[in-house]
Amino acid sequence: MAAVRGERAPVKLLAGLRGEADEAEAIVAEVERAMVPMRAKAVLSDVQLARGTTALGAGRHVDAYNHLIRMFDPNDPAEHYRKKVWAIGDIAKAALHSERREEGHAMLAQAEASAGQMPSPGCGSRLSTPVLLAEDTEAETLSAAGLATDLARWPFARARLQLAYGAWLRRQRRVAESRACLAAAKEAFDALDALAWAERARHELRGTGVATRERVRAATKDLTPQELQIARMAASGLSNREIGQRLYLSHRTVGAHLFRAFPKLGITSRGQLRDALDGELS
């Protein structure tokens, strides 16, 4: 059971990225209750990252900073020597908007020392972080270097870098360049279903004079994150038993999730799932 709860921390992060704060907090509270007595540092680190990301998406920068800083405190059960790398992009933005730029630089240095040359999705976050904290004289060089890096495997990290650079270009009144960068970031966030981040890109685009429509999940807006995850896996051809093995759920639980998902999607059978999910983007 503890393993199952630990697996739900990434689900909470996904909910937070989508802007589903209530769903996210309900999941993380369950995970935290199970993991704190066990001092499961890796999972508790995921919990704080998820909480920080959710707060950041809601524009609560001070709350985000207070959640994320725990990942860097060696006396905190949520500190993890490797996973803090995943948080540096978020804590940089939280620090920047909480008038804590110097603390942000200190966290970046600490995370870099822990990460070394570690090749991971955290590397993409490491590329966008210096851009957020840089002085204007350095931001362009750092952005160009980051965007020249092969981030094909990490589209979320690349979109974050495009957003950071596009926002910087807008502040420099290089409007045409900023629009292209911000539009690319928005499209990537939309495709990744990261609604909170997509809305940030839209906000920046509106600042350049570009009107954008809010992105909605027409077919899936009423699904919980786990229902959507299971529906997508079922649409790909996996059986209930195969889905259950991957998510540490019984096949009966998977079936129950699909039973609740079908009416929300306006369908009556498994064979209709692919078409229903293909219409996910408006």
Question: Domain 1-118 carries which CATH code?
Answer: 1.25.40
Q: How far apart are CA 188 and CA 162, in angstroms?
A: 10
Q: How far apart are CA 62 and CA 103, in angstroms?
A: 13
Of 231, 238, 245, 214, nearest to 277 by C-alpha is 231
Domain spans, the chain = 1-118, 120-215, 225-278
State the pTM of this model: 0.58
Q: What pLDDT shows up at residue 24?
A: 59
Q: What pLDDT shows up at residue 9?
A: 47
Written as one string, the DSSP assignment of 57-104 is: HTT-HHHHHHHHGGGG-TTSTT--TTTHHHHHHHHHHHHHTTT-HHHH
Q: What pLDDT shows up at residue 240?
A: 92
Phi, psi at residue 148, to the nearest 5°? -80, -10
Q: How far apart are CA 177 and CA 261, in angstroms?
A: 42
Hunting for tokens 């870099």 — which residue is that?
112
Q: How far apart are CA 184 and CA 233, in angstroms?
A: 27
Q: What pLDDT shows up at residue 7?
A: 45
Q: What pLDDT shows up at residue 32?
A: 67
Q: How far apart are CA 171 and CA 203, in angstroms?
A: 13
Q: What pLDDT shows up at residue 178?
A: 92
Q: Which residues of the chain have pLDDT under 70?
A: 1-39, 108, 110-138, 213-220, 278-282
Q: What pLDDT shows up at residue 126?
A: 52
- The architecture of the domain spanning 225-278 is Orthogonal Bundle (1.10)
